[in-house]
Amino acid sequence: MAKVAVLAGDGIGPEIMAEALKLLDKLGLDFQYAEADVGGAGIDNKGKALPEETVKVCKDSDAILFGAVGGPKWEKLPPEEQPERGALLPLRKMFDLYANLRPARIFPPLASASTLRPDIIEGGLDVLIVRELTSGIYFGDPKGIEEDQGYDMMRYRRGEIERIARVAFESALKRDKKVTSVDKANVLSTMVFWRRVVEDVHREYPKVELEHMYVDNASMQLVRNPRQFDVILAGNMFGDILSDEASMLTGSIGMLPSASLGDGGFGLYEPVHGSAPDIAGKGVANPLAQILSASMMLKYSFNLVEESERIESAVLKVLEDGYRTGDIMGVGCEQVNCSEMGDLVAERL
C-alpha cells in the first residue's frame, strides 16, 4: 500500500485538497493518507511551520501532496519562521527535491482566458519549465541583514547544475527535443559557470537542441512568442519568476500544477498558486491545479501513467463542457464552485 503525506496547509489549501483526494478516491487507488499540519496551521497548532510530527509523516511516506501556505496572520514573524520559508524550503532541502517541473499548458477551451492575443497562442501552448530548487541564491551562504546593508550569496556547484540539466534534457527527449537554458551570463559569474556546465552536459544528448537565452530576453519572449519554447531550464530564482509569468499565459494561475522531485521517485506535488486568504472559506477557489498536481504525483512517484492521463482527460472534458470557476469564467460558460468542480471532474472519470 502506497503512503501519501497530505499537507493541506492554509487559506484555500484544505478546500482544494479535498477535491484532489476526491479524484484519487474515485480512481480506487490503494493509497493510505496521513494528514499533517504545515505552514501557518503548523505554527498555530504546533508552534512551528514544519513541526517534527509532520517531518516524520513525510519521511514515512512515498510522496507528499501539498496544498498552500501563508497569509497576513503570520507576516510579522521573523522571515525564517514564516510559513513558506519555514516549511517549503526546509522540505525541499531535507528530501533533496532539486528538480521542480512546472508545465505551462493551455487547455484549448481556455484559450480565450489567456492574456495573449489569440494569434500568438493559436495551435496551443505547452511549455515545461525545469527549475533548480535547492541551491542558488535562495540557499546561498552567507546571507543577512545589517543596519546599512542586506546581502545574499548566489552559488552553484558543478554537480548541482549537472543533475538539473540532465532532468531538462531527459524531459526534452520525450517532448520536442529542445532546451532553452536561461541565465544572466553577461553580468553574473555564477551564470557564466552555469552556461559552461550546461554545455558540457549537452554533449551527452546530441539529439536535443540547446539554446542559451538571457533571463530578461526570456521573460520578454515568453509573452512575445511562447511557442518557440519546449523545455526551459533555469536556476532557482529565474525559474521561480519565469514560471509565475508563464502561469498567466494559460489563463489563470489556478490551473498550474508542479512537481518537486528528487532521485528515486520521491516528490512533493503542489499547485503553483498561493493560499489566497482573501477567498479562503468561500468555496470559490479553483481546485484544478491541485487536482493536476495529484495527477503529476501518480505519474512521477507511482508510475501510474494511465490513471494520471485519465485525470487530465477528465479535466479537459469538464472545460470543453463549459464549466468554470470564477477565475477562468468565460462568455457562455456555467460558473461552479470549488466542490462542484471537483464533482464534475470525478463524474467524467
Catalytic residues: 138, 184, 216, 240, 244
User: 3-class SS at 220?
Assistant: helix
Instruction: Show the CA angle centred on residue 232, arms to residues 228 and 236, nearest 5°.
Output: 150
Neighbour count for residue 217 (Cβ, 10 Å)? 11
In the DSSP assignment, the letter for residue 183 is E
Residues 6 or more apart whose CB falls under 8 angstroms from that of 93 comprise 134, 139
- The long-range contacts involving 201-208, CB below 8 angstroms and separated by at least 24 positions, are 201/161, 201/162, 201/165, 201/166, 201/169, 202/165, 202/169, 204/166, 204/169, 205/169, 205/172, 205/173, 207/173, 207/177, 208/169, 208/172, 208/173, 208/177, 208/178, 208/179
| Chain center to CA of 291 | 12
- Exposed, middle or buried by CB within 10 Å (0-12, 13-18, 19+), for 279? middle
Element (H, E) at 143: strand 143-145
Q: Is the peptide bond before 142 cis (omega within 30 degrees of 0)?
A: yes
Within a 13 Å sphere around the CA of 115, how many CA atoms are in the beta-carbon half?
A: 12
Cα separation values, 325 from 108, 251, 265, 279, 340, Å: 16, 12, 33, 13, 9
Distance CA 247, CA 114 (A): 10
Distance CA 240, CA 83 (A): 18
Q: Would you state the cell numbers that stand for residue 208, as one nine-digit string?
A: 536535443
